[in-house]
Structure 1
Amino acid sequence: MGMNFLLVSTAGLPKILSDFIPDVGLGVLAGALINNNHNVKILDLNQPSLFSDVFTDEISSFLERFSHKVFVERKRPSVLDLLKLKTIDKKLEKSKNIFSEKLQGYLDSHIQKDKIDCIGFKLWAGDGFRWSLEAGRYLKKRYPQLKIIGGGPQVDIFGEEIYKVGEFFDALCYSEGEETIVHLADFVAGKKRLDEIPNIIFRKEDGSVIKTPRKFIEDLNQLPLAVYTPDVYLNINEKLKMLVLDESRGCPNSCYFCIHPVKSGKRRTKSPQRVVDEIKEYKKRYGVKLFKYAGSSTPGSFMMDVAQKIIDEKIDVRYTSFGHLGEFDIDFDILKKSGCESIFFGLESADEKILKEGMNKNIDTVKAKGILKKCKDAGIFTVVSLIYPAPFETEESRKKTMDFIKEVRPDSVLVQFAGIYPETLWFKFPERFNFTIEDKETYPFKIMTYQIKNLFPPTYWEPLPYRINGMPFKKFARETEKFQKDLQKEGIETSISDEAYLLYRFSGFSTLRDFLSANRYYFYSGNREKLEEEIRYINRKSGGI
């Protein structure tokens, strides 16, 4: 007799349209459990209805007026508007606390109804982390025999730090979980000890923390298909009909700011034919034709092989991907013909010193210009990411990057300030990269529990506890904002990701600007009805069922 699992994901209030894409990680975990005769339900709470659960009428009414003024009418808010916004923000925090209690009761009812033996939380940053912790603590007290597992981004980044706030977890799963979760089902059934299971962190009775060895899945072709049927993925009909293809894992690069070298290991890919077979099966089962590659460094040659098979088999799809500028000297016309709509490239800087000494990125900026131009000339929406200010940033390096962007003119440039995460070289040796961390010992905990104030721009947030090139948080956040505005003055978009562009193509909006303005308005005001309407329209236009 199999075990009964409940997999839960709540990332806080939705912020962008792609938050409504079904969670491939949970879907594949469900497939692994089902293939081993266990029962599983997925509760993905990242959906428009969450706004109705959190926003009161007063909050909705004010944010509707405020966001319409700012994003639709494009007027500056008055001082009175901002004062009122601060008041509303405080009321929103209280409302979030009330929702957290509702969530506990909601999960409790599922545990009783489905006789759940184990609940797994996918842990995200911010409100979602706090809500998951509060729910887990409540459920453990109410059901001491219930096994509670944590996984997801927070575990990969912070590991055993989570036990400082999540003492109730029976185990935390890091790295790849498809094999691990099947072993954990045996643990739940009393057939296996935790110290026999790879990729987990757990606490012994004496309080000591044990981390078992990491084990990667070498042959990704053996992974199960993700499951999105309504009997398993309970609210799938509220999600976008766009699926993520888990085509590759790992990365051959060792960027100093990135956790992927530690988290994901060497790069592995499924066979091109397996990916094509998955596309065809997902289209058959769910009527979906919008896809996104999941890999952090999908090889250009691999994409070419898949693209040619899509063309040869006349498969009607549209898709996006991440690309590394050192591996994409390819025929972009073939990608476009196969249905590739957008590619996201991690440039980060156009200054050689910053790229090599500050980031360990092996990018030839001359070749990068050619690749980006070829991608754009093929009609593929070309997105570039930048980290600004970066380690060793100067006026000269700023000008180099700005001039590079002005010459290449990507369709969108996403700019963020440098973030420092545990396990990366930026964290291990901050002084080497011109960072100053206030208190390295307490830093992981502070970042793990940090709460972003989504109603305000970064300059209004609680200061992050580090400096970049000697600049405190508010100063480097202002520098990032100024760089974005300088790009906008050049007519360059700074807020469209690759998947957002793909969704825009089926959204019914006549221009990207209208799409952006409307969605900023919908999300800021928590307009559930408009977001649900947009999801239905995209699903209908893209052929989803």
Structure 2
Amino acid sequence: MKEQFPDTALFSGSPSDPGVVLVHPPAISKRYLRTKFMPYGMSVIYAFLKHHSVPVIQTDFLMEYLFDSPDDIDYHNPDRTFSQESFFNSLKGAADHPGLRQFVEKYGPKIPSGAGIYGFSIVAYHQYWAALLLGRFIRETNPQALIVFGGPFITIRPSESFVPHGIADYWVKGNGELPLLMLHALFKGRRELDLASIPGLVHIDEGRIITNSKSDLPAEQEFPPEFEGLDLSQYRYEHPMTGKNTFFLPYRISKGCPSRCSFCTGRLVDRYDYKSEDKVIRELKHLTSTYGTNNVQFADASINGNPVQLSNICDRIAEELPDLRWYAYARVKGCSKDVLEKSKKAGCFSLFWGVESADPRTVDLLGKRFDVREMHDLLEHAIAIGIKNYVHLMYNTPHESQKTLSNLTGFIDRYVDLPLVVLLPQRFLLEPQSLLFEKSDHYGLTNIRKVSGPVFEREQYEYDELGGTDHDSIMERNARHREILGPHLELIRCRNLFDFSENRRLKRFGPRAMMQLHAISSRSPLFRRLYDSFVKWMETREKTIREQL
């Protein structure tokens, strides 16, 4: 494959360099699913820089924050929260908030000192705010260092949304390998380099925000991740299939997303590209041997983006890595019964499907591009051969009709009681930079406007629909539809609570019995309080760690 960037040997480091520290930051909210996952992107960059003789260290604070730090700040916990005003005053050093100060005092000194560059790998929204706090700590303790923010969050967001917050010297959109390597060379004094030559770099020049063309590394040139320096014990948990002390190695056979779902911004992270079969098998053998595990979490946006590639890789895994066990995201389009059977034979035990809807018109609106009957055939075949299926669903979508609702409730009724199906419903939110947002007229939306709200919450937008349905009417329709969907959503909630519970007595009680209590509670305020208290207790008792979503 043709090189798409300069000769990286020109930017290699030496042992006397001040070096690079990579940071996967904690977050400011624990509103995460109970998942334990390794920092794939950061560890790929670590391997790349190490290969080019750059002294580099990597640190990951997210698992400690989520699983081992009950007293840390938590924006969505009334007992651990903070205001927007107190956050930004603390960031400016203008005021002291005890929780925010303790947070920085806890994690800041754990970041290795004395480096020349600190690169933050920011995947999720709530990590960004934690990165600002820790970046300020670095600025105070090591003022000569460069601070760089990158990762999917920075790649997707408009530059104007994060640059004004400052703290960082530079930001990187796209793949971080080459930009960090070139920034390191620039930091060492390579004056023939200039900022304009660094792909993906966002910087300020005379008060103007300059955003260079996105950094894009071909999939075949991506290094396998290295987890050197990370405490692997923080990623281990008891999994029902793979046992105690399991941890899943993240790896991907492709980059980017092959789909163009209209509601999603995933297409902005990477262009779709895939690795050769030889590279995949060679690197899987290396990783499983190095880290002593046969459990892999494929981090692809869609494992079957190239069905021929996946089919061939599965054949080779079955022959050359017969003990491999893995799970992944898959899409309906491009899948087949043959691919499912080969995946199962190659060790696949679970797939996550972005189904979203069982209504043909809504499937088309959301850009899913699959036949609903074919989707049912694939799901039922996956169930028949023993693959567990996590199915994403969406409600309150634009132009939602009674037929849309009927198809959704029919889908839920069909699968909710099956042990090899977990339904994951969520309310539609209009994402900025999604196709629905950028090409709203094409999808029958108009008059999009931002809803004012706290900066720590997900941005929300309201809209009208072409044809005369205004926002107020849409909200009334959504409320009616949620009321109709209510019993089905509650059944899914109870089913998932019981499915992930370790309490055998509760499992025997069952979600259908819970639904009877829910029906009674709707007629009695006292029973409602008792029911809500019982469900809340179950949620706090849930200890099962789930596969990453």
TM superposition score category, shorter chain reference: 0.7 to 0.9
Q: Which is further off, 142-151 or 374-383? A: 142-151
Check conservation: 1:391, 1:468, Cα contact below 8 A. no
Rate the CA distance shift 1:126–1:296 in 2: closer, same or farther, 3 A.
closer
Q: What CA distance in whole angstroms lies between the structure 2 residues aligned with 1:437 and 1:511?
A: 52
- Matched residue SS, 1:210: strand
Corresponding position of 1:8: 23
Give the CA deviation at 1:11: 3.1
Corresponding position of 2:52: 36
- Matched residue SS, 2:317: helix
- Matched residue SS, 1:439: strand
Q: What CA distance in whole angstroms lies between the structure 1 residues aligned with 2:479 and 2:52?
A: 49
**2:313 equivalent to 1:306:** yes
Q: What CA distance in whole angstroms lies between the structure 1 residues aligned with 2:106 and 2:186?
A: 26
- Matched residue SS, 1:93: coil
Corresponding position of 1:284: 289
1:413-435 CA distance string (max 9 Å, x none):
21112232332222224465455
Rate the CA distance shift 1:122–1:256 in 2: closer, same or farther, 3 A.
same
Letter matched to residue 288 of structure 1: T
Give the CA deviation at 1:272: 2.6
Corresponding position of 2:5: none
**2:130 equivalent to 1:131:** yes
Letter matched to residue 275 of structure 1: V
Corresponding position of 1:211: 211
Letter matched to residue 462 of structure 2: Y
Letter matched to residue 245 of structure 1: Y
Rate the CA distance shift 1:435–1:416 in 2: closer, same or farther, 3 A.
farther
**2:234 equivalent to 1:238:** yes
- Matched residue SS, 2:398: coil
Q: What CA distance in whole angstroms lies between the structure 2 residues aligned with 1:196 and 1:99?
A: 41
Corresponding position of 2:413: 406
Match of 2:362 among 348, 354, 360: 354
Give the CA deviation at 1:43: 2.1
Give the CA deviation at 1:146: 1.3
The number of aligned residues is 472
**2:186 equivalent to 1:194:** no
Rate the CA distance shift 1:346–1:99 in 2: closer, same or farther, 3 A.
same
**2:375 equivalent to 1:368:** yes
Give the CA deviation at 1:319: 0.8
Q: What CA distance in whole angstroms lies between the structure 1 residues aligned with 2:497 and 2:178?
A: 37
Give the CA deviation at 1:361: 2.2
Match of 1:264 among 253, 267, 270: 270
Equivalences for 1:331-342 in 2 at 5 Å?
A: 331=338, 332-342=340-350
Q: What CA distance in whole angstroms lies between the structure 2 residues aligned with 1:38 and 1:473?
A: 54
Rate the CA distance shift 1:247–1:475 in 2: closer, same or farther, 3 A.
same
Check conservation: 1:154, 1:448, Cα contact below 8 A. no
Rate the CA distance shift 1:403–1:163 in 2: closer, same or farther, 3 A.
closer
**2:418 equivalent to 1:422:** no
Check conservation: 1:5, 1:40, Cα contact below 8 A. yes
Check conservation: 1:124, 1:152, Cα contact below 8 A. yes
Greater RCO structure (CA 8 Å; 6+ sep):
1
Match of 2:457 among 451, 456, 477: 451
Structure number with higher helix proportion: 1
Q: CA RMSD in A?
A: 3.9
Q: What CA distance in whole angstroms lies between the structure 1 residues aligned with 2:496 and 2:484?
A: 12
- Matched residue SS, 1:47: helix
Check conservation: 1:369, 1:408, Cα contact below 8 A. no
**2:403 equivalent to 1:388:** no
Letter matched to residue 144 of structure 1: P
Check conservation: 2:330, 2:354, Cα contact below 8 A. yes
Q: What CA distance in whole angstroms lies between the structure 1 residues aligned with 2:436 and 2:81?
A: 35
Structure possessing the higher radius of gyration over alpha carbons? 2
Give the CA deviation at 1:148: 0.6
Check conservation: 2:108, 2:138, Cα contact below 8 A. yes
Check conservation: 1:3, 1:38, Cα contact below 8 A. no
Rate the CA distance shift 1:158–1:510 in 2: closer, same or farther, 3 A.
same
Rate the CA distance shift 1:477–1:45 in 2: closer, same or farther, 3 A.
farther
Give the TM-score, by structure 2 length: 0.74
Give the CA deviation at 1:261: 2.7
Check conservation: 1:324, 1:346, Cα contact below 8 A. yes
Check conservation: 2:392, 2:423, Cα contact below 8 A. yes
Identity of aligned residues (%): 21
Check conservation: 2:149, 2:172, Cα contact below 8 A. yes
Q: What CA distance in whole angstroms lies between the structure 2 residues aligned with 1:394 and 1:336?
A: 37
Structure 2, unmatched stretches of 5+, are: 1-13, 88-96, 237-246, 466-470, 512-534
Check conservation: 1:437, 1:465, Cα contact below 8 A. no
